[in-house]
Amino acid sequence: MGQSYEASVGGYEYTFYGVIGSATDVGALVEYHYDSRGSRATSPFNRDVFAGTRVTLNDERDTNIIAGTFWDRSNDTTSVRIEFQRQIGANYKLEVELQGFVEVPVGDPFFSFRRDSFLQVELRRYF
């Protein structure tokens, strides 16, 4: 079955409600990914930190944004991710997703994706 190992993911989110007297909530997010196999791990998230924020406007259109960055402590691989969602009218929802690879050194499992940053825009219709 192979050598035994340990892996875990833990995180914390704290939300500030009604920021500056508004209906907007702002959350601070932090997460840590660990795998005792280090660079031999089957997941690229073996000693990585995620830090980000969630902004929820609490409006009638359910507008929210999540933005953050992943940082690999062992080799400084860095990527950013932004997700935006908003309902448009009664039947549509707009979703925008941005994934960017900022720094990816040779040998990192994400190296083959280093040029695959993308922006995706979706407009969904519900009926």
**Whole-angstrom distance, CA of residue 49 vs CA of residue 101:** 15
Overall average pLDDT of the 50-68 stretch:
97
Is residue 65 pLDDT above 60, yes or no?
A: yes
**Whole-angstrom distance, CA of residue 108 vs CA of residue 88:** 40
Q: What backbone phi and psi angles, to 5 degrees, belong to 50?
A: -115, 135
Is there a contact between 45 and 37 (Cβ–Cβ < 8 Å)? no
Between 24 and 39, where is the model more confident?
A: 24
pTM, entire model: 0.82
Half-sphere exposure of residue 79: CA atoms within 13 angstroms, side-chain side: 22
Single out the residue of 41, 54, 74 nearest to residue 12, CA to CA. Answer: 54
Is residue 120 pLDDT above 90, yes or no?
A: yes
User: pLDDT of 72-116, one tens digit each?
Assistant: 988 888 999 999 999 999 999 999 999 999 999 888 888 888 899
Query: Over the range 27-60, which residues count as b (16 or more CB within 10 Å of their CB) and which as e?
Result: bebebbbbbeeeeebeebbbbbebebebebeeee
- Please give the pLDDT value at position 88: 95
- Please give the pLDDT value at position 117: 93
Is residue 1 pLDDT above 60, yes or no?
A: no
